[in-house]
Structures are given as structure tokens and as C-alpha cells.
Amino acid sequence: MPHLLNYDSPKELRAFLEQRGLGMRKKHGQNFLINPAVRARLLDALELRPGDRVWEIGPGLGAMTAGLLQRDARVTAFEIDPAFVKALREFFVDDESSASGAFSLIEGDVMKTWRNAAAAENGQELFLAGNLPYNIAAALLADFIEKGQFFTRLVVTVQREVARRMAAQPGSSDYSSFSVLCSSVYRVTPLAVIKPAAFYPPPHVDSQGVRLDLLPADRRALPRLFYPLVRGLFSSRRKTVKNTLSAFAASVIIEGKMSGTDAALEALRRAGLAPERRPETLGIDEFAALAAFLEEIVFDGR
């Protein structure tokens, strides 16, 4: 594998970009992780074995890509910037990494391309890594979860605010539908806070690494209304569960069967939850119970 760049040197990265007439694009959230110790800790947290398949989101010029390949991972990289795609092809596609099948590159918006890539994986075990673009991090992770694309382990760098939401517990100010989504499928472990100086160019906010480990299949067996219900209840998180659940129930109930309020009160009764509680205080098991009982009431007539 060629080592054309010193990924630890802002000076060399800047010179490379200037030589190619390239600039960093804010709309893509581009910041290179130039601290080698931080990169090594993130790679270590993945706990990869030789031959493990890894999706890398937003490789940029390939600092983490090089580290993954050095650990004998098989990497599929998703990059939206055509200029970076060209550089990645020079660095990795035209050498033994590509010839051996250890590296492949998918150009375009990962939000639009990942489904076809997942179909090509044929259900193989996957890991995920990436310094996720700040503008899509939460939306992308939520899309993976809601569409059933699960990874054995993820180690990602996100804005610290997003990391707090991912790991938030019921009742905290950071707790949101995104918190519930993440912890419904993964064990979420916050890693070290990463200061702006670890990046080039330095962002205006702190970042943080987060590790997510896939829960056993029985822990991920959720009612079909679970995710819609969580989103619906958090749309008015300060209202009582009775009010938000009534509105949600009315949107899914068969017309004329019963009122949304009656369905909500019955679901709350069966789940043993007080109607005056607020959605932001409910844990995953309580959301799951509400979704399951509401399904019984709405769809099974019980």
C-alpha cells in the first residue's frame, strides 16, 4: 500500500489539497483526523480480526482507511466528494489492496447508496467505522437501525452533542427518540472526547468517539409499532403520555373501532404506566410494552 501522505501533518495535507486545487467543503463536514494516537484508539476499539468486513463512512483522504487495511480488514469505503474519490483510487484502488479484494470504493451520498451495498453483502457480518459527517451522523445511524441494517460493532466519531444523545438515559435533557433507537439495538459506550486540535481543519465543537455493540437477537425483537410509536411520542415530549399516545393511536387505529384516547388508556393500563408520565421518562422496555399492547388493541381486537 503506498504511503503518499503524512496523515499526521496539517502542512502536508494542506499542500496536497492546494496542489490538487482542492478545498474543504463545509456541506460535507470534512475534517481530517490528524492525531495518530486517537486514530489508533478508535481502531483498537473495533476489535477487528483479520478478514473482518468493515464499512467506512467518509474516508476523506484515507487516514483511517490505511489503518484498517494495515489490520487486514476488508474495507468498503463510502465517499461523496469526487475529488477525494479520485485520491482514494490513486492511493488504494490501483494497488494490491484492491486486487486482493481488501478495498472497494462506493462513490456518492451514503444515504442513497448503502442499501445496494448491503444487498451485495449477502448478510455477511459487518463492522462500521467512520468520522461521520456532522450533518448526517444521526440521520444515517437512525436510517440503518430503522431499516434493519445492523453491524456487529460500530466505532464512530460524531459531534459531542450527538454522542450525548446516543448514550442518554431516560429523564435526562439529552434523552430523545434517537437515544431510544440506538439503545434498542446496541449497547452504547461513549469513548474519549476529541478536541478540535486533533483535526485539520479544526471544527468549532468537540467531537467524541462512540462504540456500539450489537445486542443479542432476542433483545432486538421489538413490536412492529415500536419505532413509529417512539417517534410519535417524542414529537411532543413535554406532553403527558396519555395525550401523545392518544394522538398516535388515532393515527393507526381502524376507523370507527374505538377512539384514540380509549386505545391509549387501555394500552397504558395493560402496561402498568401512569397516564400523566411524560415520554422522556420512559425506558425501552416501557416503550416496547406500550407498542405491543397497542398492537393487540388496534390489530387483534383484544
The C-alpha atoms of residue 81 and residue 230 are separated, in whole angstroms, by 34
The pair phi, psi for residue 74, each rounded to 5°, is: -105, 110
**Does the pLDDT of residue 285 top 90, yes or no?**
yes
The helix-helix angle for 137-146 and 160-167 (nearest 10°) equals 30
pLDDT one-digit tens code per residue, 76-106: 999 999 999 999 999 998 655 555 679 999 9
Evaluate if residue 254 carries a pLDDT over 70. no
Contact 144, 212 (CB under 8 A): no
Q: β-strands 199-200, 32-33: how paired?
A: antiparallel
pLDDT, tens digit, 9 for 90 and up, residues 182-209: 999 999 999 999 999 999 999 999 999 9
Mean of per-residue pLDDT scores for the chain: 91
Of the candidates 128, 291, 124, 281, the residue with the CA atom closest to the CA atom of residue 221: 291
* % residues pLDDT > 70 (the chain): 92
Q: Give the global pTM.
A: 0.91
pLDDT in tens, 206-217: 999 999 999 999
CA distance 49 to 242: 48
Q: Which residues pair with 158 in a beta bridge?
A: 208
- Residue 1: pLDDT over 50: no
How many CA atoms, within 13 angstroms, populate the side-chain half-sphere of residue 225?
24
CA 30 to chain centre: 17
Would you state the pLDDT for residue 19?
Answer: 86
Strands 207-214 and 153-159, by their bridges, are antiparallel
